Structure 1
Amino acid sequence: MSQLPPSPVTATVDFDAQGVSHGFLRLPYSRDDAAWGSVMIPLTVVNNGSGPTVLLTGANHGDEYEGPIALFDLAATVQAGEVSGRLIIIPAMNYPAFLAGTRTSPIDRGNLNRSFPGRPDGTVTQKIADYFQRVLLPVADVVLDFHSGGKTLDFLPYCAAHVLPDKAVEARAFDLVRAFGAPWSCRMLEIDAVGMYDTAAEEMGKVFVTTELGGGGTASARTAAIAKEGLRNLLVAAGVMQGAVVPRPTRWLDMPDADCFTFAEDGGLITFLADLGDRVTAGQPVAQIYPTGRTGLAPVTVTARRAGLFMARHFPGLVKPGDCVAVVAVEV
């Protein structure tokens, strides 16, 4: 196999310099309005003494805002003396999507969280993924990647990690989930893990923690506070920030199998028959989908595939066949 060329991405800060450094990841991008243009991804690096390296990312999908709020806030307020080790803070890793307020990049329609390991000679999104894969993930001990539902999903606010073959790494990840202290904590199942940032990190043996903190393409005061407070708690528990974890009550959820997910088989106007946080039974109607091509037609009923807690739902009022419309988890 031929060796990959170097990444075209360069950092404008020294990752090993002591103190707080603000700068960018610069990716050359030639376009109509800037022949020698660049994508400039904001970056903060904090170094102080010895300790773990924690990589903090938000806006993997550009329409999810709790993570960027918490990370831009941390980057603006953190003092080097608070840190023991290194923080790498990237509030908007898919920066073109973040500026456009879209899940995928407006440049190449790339979904960054399905683009790993990336390519140094690929599209803009693939180049960003490649830099994380070959430069940033290898130096990290712990990775926290913030997510929420974006414009198409709404979640009970939770922090999560995955069940892993390496039980020591799994236990460490769930310890950090517990410390984060979101209202809900989840043993999460992915329905499409190929090409994910999560998968890339976990295959390297990194401790990986993620969130789903709301949705609808916005952030509330409540969900932004959950992100900020949980971030500080996790950094303390990871041993990279001074202070004490502020205990916050959390309730645990498990996603044991694919029956947690219900998908629409018909398109149309959706109305929900249960709300987030409701307990539902297997076979219980949770939504109806009205055909919109003409009046006088009965709605199609959508049912839960398992008993449990209604934890996520489709957000806009119109759905297409194949859309995930409901997620039910098991209370632990």
Structure 2
Amino acid sequence: MLLRSRYLIIIMCFFASLANAARSPFELAGSTIPAGERRSFVASVADTDMQIPITVFHGIDSGPVLTLSAGTHGDEFPAITALHRLRSEIDSAVLKGTLILVHAANLPALHQYGLSALHPGDKKNLNREFPGSANGSDTERLAHFLTEEIIGSSDYLADLHSGSAYQQLWPHIYAPFVGDEALDARTLAWAKASGMRHIILYGDRPRDPANSISYPNTAMTRGKPGLTLEIGDRGQNEEEDVLAYLDALHRLIVGIDMLPSTLPASEGQIIYEQLVEVETPVEGFFESKCKIGEFVEKGALLGIVRDYFGEPIAELRAPNRGIVLMLRNAPPANKGAALITLGVQ
């Protein structure tokens, strides 16, 4: 009996130690978040005046660390609004693991005059500068912070985008692959869990961690699932897009068992194996002959480019059958610009 009691005490101590480990505070960018609490703070990028607003939910129970990050580009708003609302909906007492909300990853781009995706200081695209540099330009330093602090602290990353001021897009999600079968399978399964209907397999980014280029690809090259969501377009902040984002984000959280599920299963998802861009061979004035979300056959007329007298100088036709996922929303067209993007199964 005494021996059994000792074993019972040992087992109880073991589980108590696990509970205490799960309740250990979470450290991020100089802030400490106790278990069961939510903290919102503004992180500073070293040796710059750049700041990043962040909220962390640190659950009482152990689980993965998930980052949902909005505002990589300065003219993409629905995800920022969705994270505002998500912040008031998550309960740290119920959450398993830790949820990081990066409310606006690129504040300088967000607050510059006029709509632009680029950082105003160096005119660079943050989503092309990863993993960045601690001694580089402003955008490179920002990418370095996101790589070291955010991705370095995360197990999963979702980078949240929408169409820019001159772009229409059909809601879709990118599931990158990097040649690691187990990681690629986990990433695709997580993309499916989002409930978004259109899923694009994407393997075009470099597989070198030192030259990872984009935010989610940087996570992938470090062995962590990273997704890109695209909901909303034309530089707008429409309610239906915010609601669509909230649904997808809840599903992503549930999809890795951080919250209990009350959502119905998603149906009818389509997987595309490539994107095909249709470029204009000439400079001119673009006139679309297709609609976003439309399924087109190979050879279908997608658009016309006219000269400045209104005469047609080029026809843009579908090189493959597929769905119109992205479409230029403004007439001026530079030679070589991709005006239409098709998703091809």
Classify the TM-score, shorter chain.
0.7 to 0.9
Q: Distance in 2 between matches of 1:237 and 1:249?
A: 15
Counting only pairs closer than 5 Å after superposition, residues 269-284 of structure 1 correspond to structure 2 as: 269-284=285-300
Share of identical aligned residues, percent?
Answer: 22
Q: Distance in 1 between matches of 2:300 and 2:201?
A: 24
Select 1:107's aligned residue among 115, 121, 126: 121
Partner of 1:26: 44
Select 1:130's aligned residue among 128, 138, 144: 144
Instruction: Describe the superposition over 1:191-240 as per-residue Cα deviations: whole angstroms up to 9, x where unpaired.
Output: 89961112211110111111111311113222211100110011011122
Question: What TM-score results when the alignment is normalised by the length of structure 1?
Answer: 0.86
Distance 1:250 1:61, change over 3 A: farther
Counting only pairs closer than 5 Å after superposition, residues 28-43 of structure 1 correspond to structure 2 as: 38-43=49-54
RMSD of the TM alignment (CA)? Answer: 2.2
Is structure 2 residue 106 aligned with structure 1 residue 94? yes
Partner of 1:6: none
Partner of 1:289: 305
Q: Distance in 2 between matches of 1:267 and 1:288?
A: 11
Distance 1:175 1:220, change over 3 A: same
The number of residue pairs the alignment matches comes to 311
Distance 1:15 1:136, change over 3 A: farther
Q: Distance in 2 between matches of 1:126 and 1:264?
A: 31
Q: Distance in 2 between matches of 1:214 and 1:192?
A: 27
Partner of 1:65: 77
Counting only pairs closer than 5 Å after superposition, residues 1-332 of structure 1 correspond to structure 2 as: 11=29, 13-14=31-32, 18-27=36-45, 38-48=49-59, 49-100=61-112, 101-188=115-202, 190=204, 195-256=213-274, 260-292=276-308, 295=309, 297-331=311-345
Q: Distance in 1 between matches of 2:324 and 2:205?
A: 17
Q: Distance in 2 between matches of 1:202 and 1:149?
A: 23
Q: Distance in 2 between matches of 1:296 and 1:95?
A: 40
Larger Rg: 2
Q: Which structure 1 segments of 5+ residues have no match?
A: 1-9, 31-37
Q: Distance in 2 between matches of 1:167 and 1:28?
A: 36
Question: What TM-score results when the alignment is normalised by the length of structure 2?
Answer: 0.83
Q: Distance in 1 between matches of 2:47 and 2:334?
A: 34
Distance 1:237 1:191, change over 3 A: closer
Q: Distance in 2 between matches of 1:286 and 1:191?
A: 27
Instruction: Describe the superposition over 1:259-283 as per-residue Cα deviations: whole angstroms up to 9, x where unpaired.
Output: x111122222211111122222222
Q: Distance in 2 between matches of 1:296 and 1:79?
A: 58
Q: Which structure 2 segments of 5+ residues have no match?
A: 1-27
Q: Distance in 2 between matches of 1:207 and 1:23?
A: 26
Q: Distance in 1 between matches of 2:175 and 2:100?
A: 20
Instruction: Describe the superposition over 1:15-45 as per-residue Cα deviations: whole angstroms up to 9, x where unpaired.
Output: 5665101101113676xxxxxxx32211001
Q: After superposing the two structures, state which structure 1 stretch, 50-59 or 261-270, moved more.
A: 261-270
Q: Post-superposition shift, 1:183? A: 3.6
Instruction: Describe the superposition over 1:251-307 as per-residue Cα deviations: whole angstroms up to 9, x where unpaired.
Output: 3131336xx111122222211111122222222220001112xx2633311111111
Q: Distance in 1 between matches of 2:117 and 2:231?
A: 16
Distance 1:42 1:250, change over 3 A: farther
Distance 1:113 1:79, change over 3 A: same
Q: Distance in 2 between matches of 1:20 and 1:28?
A: 24
8 Å CA contact 2:290–2:302 kept in 1: the answer is: yes
